[in-house]
Amino acid sequence: MRIISGTAGSVPLRVPRSLTRPTTDRVREAVFSSLAEIIPGSKVLDLFAGSGSLGLEALSRGAEDATFIDTANDSIAAIEENLKKTRLENGKAIRRDVLAFISTIGPGIYDLIFADPPYARGEKTTEQLEQFLTHEKLSRSLKENGILILETLARSPLPETPLWKVTKEKTYGSTRVSFLRPA
């Protein structure tokens, strides 16, 4: 896994041992092609960050800053190492539960939120995804034209929520990437 483009293009990334499903280069390349006009100068939040590849790619392509949230110590260590390795200085890794962090977010802060939660394969993970998408502070934390980019299991439907509208969706193998805006 590596940074695809920008100031840190081609720099290899450390992937935490506990991470079982990093976002592939192909998916990141497609997502960032769609966001090319939005990235420069943006404020980014990378939730369920893992290796931090999504936020790091945004920083490499000109995002103003990125905040990385994950509960795993190994993920936070990998993100911090990747920030140093790529020399991308405007990133901050925070070890915290994503839903707890969302509860503390103020309104209108982020231009882009990347989220790659555990795939909803059972009752527990489906419930977590529902809690995530129905958390009102999440949708309010985006700026006026902000976008939530959500990775989920392609064969599982997104939970219905009045807070979001899907503006674009694409499937890559078993991964679905949804672009959502507050409703």
pLDDT computed for residue 20 by the predictor: 59
Computed from CA positions of residues 77, 79, 81, 84, in that sequence, does the dihedral angle turn out positive or negative?
negative
Domain map (residue ranges) of the chain: 25-182
Whether residue 101 has pLDDT greater than 90:
yes
Q: Among residues 172, 177, 173, which one has the least CA distance to residue 158?
A: 177
Side-chain half-sphere of 183: how many Cα atoms within 13 Å?
10
Whether residue 182 has pLDDT greater than 90:
yes
How far is residue 11's CA from residue 61's CA, in Å, rounded to a whole number?
13
**Would you give the DSSP letter of residue 161?**
-
Q: List, as own/partner pairs, every contact residues 32-35 make where C-beta atoms lie below 8 angstroms and the sequence separation is at least 24, other chains included.
A: 32/4, 32/5, 32/57, 32/58, 32/61, 34/168, 34/179, 35/112, 35/147, 35/149
One-letter amino acid for residue 46 of the chain: D
Neighbours of 155 (CB within 10 A): 11
Band (pLDDT 50/70/90 cuts) for residue 164 is very high
CATH architecture of 25-182: 3-Layer(aba) Sandwich (3.40)
User: For the whole model, what pTM was predicted?
Assistant: 0.94
Share of the chain above pLDDT 90, in %: 75
Band (pLDDT 50/70/90 cuts) for residue 121 is low
Whether residue 114 has pLDDT greater than 90:
yes
